[in-house]
A = this chain, B = another copy of it.
């Protein structure tokens, strides 16, 4: 596009000032190791990276912290904790243990922001997979049906594994249990509402308002929210809830990513570079700015075409689109 060429020319002229808040999430440059992503971000003049735990694990926790520190970058966030919807004791214990580890990893990496994707319905056995059969049919296969929630009336004929209300209550319960751990380590649990198309299998938090309601019982420095444009752009309550999040001091991150159609075969990969899809970045960025957010703007894109592109080129496009569509509104 013509606008891109001009913006790309700007990129090469350098000037760190206008990229002073742009952060590369390692998921965007999937082919790069943590070290390659950190070095690539530094080369492009970015001051920050958002890290995924798999890349950190590959490089080693202490080594990852050292790589980022020595490159002179900061860590804008760590992805991801969460997956808190298990209803059975073993699943609950495993979730708590994994999230305690993630909290310590975030603290070690020097970021206060640990992004939580809270998990889907127990009826989902895999990401993007078909729903499990109903209890009667599970029982017929010799599998025990999910136990009902204590203290809540159970609807006759309802399947606990499809019970969104109960799944969300378990998320609230687990957050309450993890808050003291997060406080101890100076880490914030950052709730990420995911697009409702992922409500079944990935996250039973679908709106910013819902995330803020879940955060409400806890201090703002311990439970926050992240605004990922891909997930929330459609929400008729968006302006109001961004304003609320700002007033409550809970905006822990702003992630820019466009919403593409047609959907990729795996809709999770229908994320695109800012400017390639339907999101109104000017308006949403102004809402986030008006709400008082002054932190990093992280670009996290899952997209096979972008993953097949050399990382430096991806970073150049990222910077160009940031300058065109986001920076004027920050």
Taking Cβ atoms with an 8 Å cutoff, the residues of A that contact B are 1-3, 121, 123-124, 128-131, 133-134, 136-137, 140, 155-159, 162-165, 168, 195-197, 199-201, 205-207, 209-210, 213, 233-236, 239, 259-263, 265, 267, 275-280, 282-283, 286, 325, 328-329
Contact = CB atoms under 8 A, between A and B. Distances in A.
A111 B207 CA distance: 35
B195 A197 contact: yes
Nearest to A279: B162
A183 B109 CA distance: 64
A197 B200 contact: no
A201 B124 CA distance: 28
A328 B159 contact: no
A196 B157 CA distance: 29
A325 to B, nearest CB: 7
Say what secondary structure dominates the interface of chain A: loop
A265 B267 contact: no
B265 A163 contact: no
B261 A155 contact: no
Given A2-B136, A283-B165, A157 B325 contact: yes
Q: Chain B CB within 10 Å — which of A124, A206, A234, A277 has the most?
A: A234
